[in-house]
Amino acid sequence: PRIAVVVGTRPEIIKMAEIVQLLGPRAMLVHSGQHWDDAMSGAFLRGLGLPAPVASLAVGGQTRAMQIAETIRGLESLFDRERPAAVVVQGDTNTVVGGAITANALEIPLVHVEAGLRSFDRRMPEEHNRVVTDHLADLCLAPTTNSRDNLLAEGIPADRISVTGNTIVGAVAAVLRATLETTYARIEELGLTPDDFVVATIHRPENTDDPRRLTTLLDNLAAIAERTRVLLPLHPRTRGRIASFGLDAKLAPLTLLDPLPYDEFVGLCAQAAFTISDSGGIQEEASVWRRPVIVVRRSTERPEVIGTFAHLCEPGHGLVREALALYAAKEFTIAQLAQLPSPYGDEHAAQRCLDALDQLVENRCV
């Protein structure tokens, strides 16, 4: 019997890739289409060597409730027909909740990869997506003991939880092994000096949807760009908001890029003085490429790296101060972080996820 692996966005593809590869022909990859443009989706499937999805739904560009509804609608008929032995979802997107509710409704065992993350910030839709999915899951694969403890505190029994590490560790490590040469070529092509530039990514609604906050953030990046080059691979949502708020002129001091393929992005971040980002995944990745990240958010669901690899900071003068301080101390900081292990575990998380999944399927068959 096949195992349905449901993805919908760039980070889900990245973090599920090794699980899909290990499953081989058993994997039935489904794409919800939550991220629909090629630079955010197709390029990642191809770049990470994944098979074409057996089904691609088209839930992108709709409201949150409609994305969840359309995911359920698309998955129900597929799962009903194919009857997978289990459904695997990863992370905290609308696709994940849609997959979780469908599996639950059809009584197919549900596995949640990256379970137990909590920001305790109910303003974030992702927080609700995580809670709902963890409570529906038959198997919660927690990346750290901290995330396991969050699950236990909510009354999820220990026999439904397995601590695996995060598959991102293997994903970043594989890129770092493979792309050193091409990264140096790219750095040269962009006219950059290793350790002397910053990579920034912004895409969370809390930063993009309020024109005042977005303006402050772009002004902050421009202030930092007076000291060092700031690369900004622009997420389609952010590009759209900047245009509709008439903020394009604020981009002039920055080096704008399209969303980068994974290997190129990781290669650049691993040579940057630090990153500035509101991404969830980059907080984890920073602990593998071992460079600091300034997390431009109100809250984080990844407390394991705060104070070491990651520094939480809202837009405003504090952000510029933090960035300039990090820049001034970059040699020392980079040398210090090089000694620190990642709290997200080793490169074998995907195999541990698969072992736990196989155990679940086996128990169900008995």
Contact set with ligand UDP (CB under 6 A): 10-11, 14, 201, 203, 233, 259-260, 262, 265-266, 279-282, 285
C-beta closer to ligand UDP: residue 85 or 254: 254
DSSP string, 225-241: HTTSEEEEE--HHHHHH
For 48, counting Cβ atoms within 10 Å of its Cβ (0-12 exposed, 13-18 middle, 19+ buried), the class is: buried
Cα separation, 154 vs 322, in Å, equals: 35
Give me the least distance between CB of 288 and ligand UDP, in Å please: 10
Rounded to 5 degrees, φ, ψ at 142 are: -90, 130
Work out how close the CB of 278 gets to ligand UDP at its nearest, in angstroms, rounded to a whole number.
7
> What is the spatial distance between Cα 146 and Cα 139, in angstroms, rounded to a whole number?
17
**Judged by CB, which is closer to ligand UDP: 96, or 110?**
96
- 128: annotated active-site residue: no
Of residues 86 and 199, the one with the C-beta less far from ligand UDP: 199
Report in angstroms how near the CB of residue 302 gets to ligand UDP at its nearest.
Answer: 10
In whole angstroms, how close is the CB of 16 to ligand UDP at the nearest point?
Answer: 12
Q: Which is nearer to ligand UDP, 266 or 357 (CB)?
A: 266
Q: Where are the beta strands (DSSP E) in 180-282?
A: 197-201, 229-233, 255-257, 274-277
26: buried, middle or exposed (CB in 10 Å: 19+, 13-18, 0-12)?
A: middle
Q: C-beta of 232: minimal distance to ligand UDP in Å?
A: 9
Contacting residues for 257 by C-beta, under 8 A, at least 6 apart: 231, 232, 233, 234
CB of 305 to ligand UDP, least distance (A): 13
SS3 at position 197: strand
Helix or strand run (H / E) with residue 131: helix 125-136
List of residues 6+ apart from 264 with CB closer than 8 A: 179, 182, 183, 186
Hey, what's the torsion of the CAs at 26, 31, 35, 38, to 10 degrees? Answer: 80
Identity of the residue, 31 or 203, whose beta carbon is nearer to ligand UDP in the bound complex: 203
**129 and 101 in contact (C-beta within 8 Å)?**
no
Candidates 203, 235, 311, 317; catalytic one: 203
Decide whether 160 or 186 has the Cβ nearer to ligand UDP.
186
Kindly list the catalytic residues: 203
